[in-house]
Amino acid sequence: MLDMVAFIDPAMIGAIGCGKGQERSQHIKERLISAKPGQIFMLPYNSDKHWVLTIVDPEQEIVYFMDPMKRRLPTGEWVSIVDSAISMYNAHKGRKGRSSPLWKNLSGIPPQPSSKECGYFIMRYMRDIIEDKDFSFVNKWERRSNHIYTQVDIDEMRNEWARFVVNRYV
């Protein structure tokens, strides 16, 4: 499954220090152009002190959204940036496409219990998606459910991240 998932660097698309909306849309479009058939893109996004995960399926023009706190679809700038990127991608491919991409909220994701763990939850969502042999994250998280991550699950993410940083940079 790993080759079916690509990643868009949050340092290029974040709300702070990444340029205007059009520049961020352009960066997303450039990554979408590199897609293999059937490949999806993970866009971890920091909207000024809170992490969310957006997954784009450029062929289907479907955008899956995961917010570990609000569990509802976004509005505003982020939607415009992603919609614009998909429009530019379609224009590059010479496709008419939909008038706007279909956004789906994955409201069954495990919610974060307080306001401090969003980054770890986003990393855990990404890991669960990549490791899912059936690639069934949509079916699993489409509707509200009782899925939770325990403190052990989140600590496992923290430890994995700490090991990566130490091994890579220390």
For residue 2, name the pLDDT band (cuts at 50, 70, 90). low
Count of domains observed in the chain: 1
- The residue segments making up the domain with residue 20 are 2-169
User: Angle 161-62-126 (CA atoms, 0-180°, nearest 5)?
Assistant: 10
Strands (E), the chain: 5-7, 40-46, 51-57, 62-66, 102-105
pLDDT in tens, 78-129: 999 999 999 999 999 998 877 889 999 998 899 998 888 899 999 999 999 9
Average pLDDT (53-77) is: 89
For residue 133, name the pLDDT band (cuts at 50, 70, 90). confident
For residue 156, name the pLDDT band (cuts at 50, 70, 90). very high
Q: What is the CATH number of the domain that holds 158?
A: 3.40.395.10
Which residue from 91, 89, 108, 99 is spatially nearest to 39, judged by alpha carbons? Answer: 89
- The per-residue pLDDT of the chain, averaged, comes to 89
Q: How far apart are CA 156 and CA 137, in angstroms?
A: 20
Average pLDDT (34-63) is: 92
